């Protein structure tokens, strides 16, 4: 595929990606992907991976599921031994392939989507409940007529 500079495009059901499904709240939907194989000017074999999907994850702020758009656009340098990683250009991430040079495209796509997931997913539209943030308590304290400055008492003692 590298020598022929092959390209592949398609859709892959999220439910077919078992490791990814373990990290999600739901496995509906598809991943749109494109894989482009080739060699760069230095003769290094690579695969360009582009993928996008709407993944359902649990917001760690509200503990509610939400749809997180994930987009992957990366170049993977194909290496057969770990020591070959040093010869890759800085913009290439290493991908260790078997000695026969074969790889499973679905596994590559799944790996890149897993790496793109945030460690702590947070829905940008969510907010913490008032009992957690203490907004209700702040309103109670301000309605009691407390001093604006908590150090005002110390100022009086200093005089």
Span 41-66, pLDDT tens digits: 888 999 999 999 999 999 998 899 99
Residue 108: inside a domain? yes
Residue 1: inside a domain? no
Residue 139: inside a domain? no
CB 53 within 8 A of CB 20: no
Please give the distance of CA 112 from its chain centroid, rounded to a whole number: 9
Predicted structure pTM score:
0.76
Residue 87: inside a domain? yes
Residue 77: inside a domain? yes
What is the span of the domain harbouring residue 34? 7-125
How many domains does the chain contain in total? 1
Residue 152: inside a domain? no
Residue 157: inside a domain? no
């Amino acid at each position: 595929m590298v020598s022929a500079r092959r390209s592949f495009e398609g859709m892959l059901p999220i439910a077919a990606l078992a490791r990814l499904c373990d990290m999600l709240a739901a496995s509906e939907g598809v991943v749109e992907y494109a894989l482009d194989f080739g060699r760069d000017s230095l003769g290094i074999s690579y695969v360009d991976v582009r993928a996008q999907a709407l993944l359902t994850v649990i917001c760690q702020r509200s503990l509610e599921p939400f749809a997180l758009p994930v987009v992957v656009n990366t170049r993977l340098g194909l290496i057969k031994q770990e020591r070959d990683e040093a010869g890759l250009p800085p913009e290439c991430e290493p991908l260790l392939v078997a000695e026969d040079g074969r790889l499973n495209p679905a596994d590559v796509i799944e790996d890149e989507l897993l790496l793109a997931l945030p460690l702590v997913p947070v829905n940008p539209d969510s907010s913490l409940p008032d009992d957690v943030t203490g907004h209700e308590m702040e309103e109670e304290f301000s309605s009691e007529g407390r001093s604006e400055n908590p150090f005002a008492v110390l100022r009086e003692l200093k005089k």
